[in-house]
Each structure stands twice: as C-alpha cells, then as structure tokens.
C-alpha cells in the first residue's frame, strides 16, 4: 500500500462515522475515567496527560497570538514549562497564561462534541496530530519519552484496534480530560494558600492584569467545571 493510499484510508476513517457506545458503555467509560482522577495510585501517572494538554495549550495560544515559541519541557514530577518570546504584557501574554489550565477542559469539550456526532476516530487521529506537533517543540528527554509514548499508544489503537476499542478509547480519553481539568486548578489554589506557587499561572495573570489571582482561579474553575457539565451532557446524550 502506497503512502497516498494510507493517507486516503486515514482520511476516510476520520471523516466517516463510527457506531456510538451503548448507554452502559458511555457510563462505564465515565466511571473508569473518574477513578483515574480520584484514586491516589492512578492520578500521579495520569496527570502527565493533563500536563501535556496544559503545556501544549500554552504553546498553541502563544503561536496564535504572534509570540515566538522557544520550546516545551515536561518533567517527571508532572510539572512543565513553556518558553515563548514576545511582548511581556498585553492580550497575547494574558491569553497564553490563561490557556494552560483551560486547555485540557476545552480539548475535552471539543472531543465530546465530535463524539456526540459519532466521530470517534476523528478524536483519536486529532490527538495523534496534536501530539506529533507537540513533539517537535519538546526540549528535554523525559518530555520526548512521555509524548512519544502517548502518541504511539493512540496510533496503535487508531490503526489496529477494533471499532469498539477505538470508540471506548476515545470516550475514556475525553471523559478523562473533562474530569481531570478542574483538579489541577484546585491543587494550584491549595499551593497558593501555602505560599508555594508564586510563579503559577493565576499569579502571572494577576501581575499582568491587576486582577487578584484568586479571582483567576475562580474563573478557571468555573470554566473547567462548565466544560465538564456541557461535555458530559453531549457524551451521555
């Protein structure tokens, strides 16, 4: 099979529709994803997925607002760093700082929209594309390892998985992003209260805008919870 045939096959799958999960399957994937977020043994590992989405959102918005992206680093403690160059203040910098915690929730909301229209493979191949673009900007070995591993897993499911496996994987990934997005917002506020997150995104937004950091936390929490409610209704409906 030629490369053109492979790309044509992928495009047909992406633009086509796949059978949706049963109501029980949707609820089962939701319950499984929620457990990944709330269980102490799973969250430290799964949180790397949230960090990937968080830093990727920083980088994407930096580029969209005309800033120059100088690389992304992902660390084993689930922290990350996105370096961009441009005006130190202004709407572009505010949008870039805001995008991190909002990114996973909005990505999950977009995936829920596609799943509501039976485009499970579109969700998976879009994830592959975003991970591939992110891989080009990673500047440390651990980050390369994490993003490459995530990309390989999604490619394997997208290419060799059955229709049921592909749909289940798309639902689990989408539910996970929706459920997981509010937790880092709560965690950063707990750190802020102890004075341990002076360089956090809400504190950066406070310095850029003059609006107190706790209000930015409230806005981000409302956004992430809102995406969970809306996305959950799309998935269940």
Which residues of the chain have a pLDDT value below 70? Answer: 1-7, 9-10, 13-14
- This model's pTM is above 0.85: yes
Instruction: Kindly give, in sequence order, each residue whose CB lies less than 8 Å from that of residue 83, ignoring residues fewer than 6 positions away.
Output: 69, 70, 71, 72, 73
Q: Give CA–CA dist 22/25, Å, rounded.
A: 5
SS3 200: coil
pLDDT for the residue 17:
78
- Provide the angle, in degrees to the nearest 10, between the axes of the packed helices 91-116 and 163-180: 140
Tens digits of per-residue pLDDT, 74-115?
A: 999 999 999 999 888 899 999 999 999 999 999 999 999 999
| Helix locations, the chain, DSSP H | 3-15, 23-38, 43-64, 91-116, 120-135, 141-160, 163-180, 182-193, 201-209, 213-236
Which one, of 225, 226, 216, lies nearest residue 94 by Cα? Answer: 216
């Amino acid at each position: 099979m030629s490369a053109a045939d492979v790309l044509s096959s992928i495009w047909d799958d992406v633009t086509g529709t796949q059978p949706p999960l049963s109501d029980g399957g949707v609820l089962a994937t939701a319950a499984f994803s929620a457990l990944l977020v709330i269980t102490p043994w799973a969250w430290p590992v799964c949180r790397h997925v949230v960090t990937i989405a968080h830093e990727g959102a920083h980088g994407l918005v930096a580029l969209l607002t005309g800033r120059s992206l100088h690389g992304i680093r992902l660390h084993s403690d689930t922290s990350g760093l996105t370096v961009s160059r441009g005006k130190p203040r202004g709407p572009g910098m505010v949008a870039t700082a805001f995008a991190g915690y909002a990114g996973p929730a909005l990505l999950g909301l977009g995936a829920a929209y596609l799943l509501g229209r039976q485009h499970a493979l579109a969700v998976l191949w879009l994830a592959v594309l975003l991970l591939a673009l992110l891989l080009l900007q990673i500047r440390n070995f651990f980050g390369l390892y994490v993003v490459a591993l995530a990309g390989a897993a999604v490619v394997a499911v997208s290419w060799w998985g059955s229709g049921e496996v592909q749909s289940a994987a798309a639902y689990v990934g989408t539910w996970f992003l929706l459920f997981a997005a509010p937790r880092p917002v709560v965690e950063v506020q707990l750190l802020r209260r102890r004075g341990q997150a002076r360089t956090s995104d809400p504190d950066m937004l406070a310095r850029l805008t003059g609006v107190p950091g706790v209000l930015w936390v409230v806005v981000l929490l409302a956004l992430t919870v809102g995406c969970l409610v809306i996305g959950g209704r799309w998935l269940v409906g």
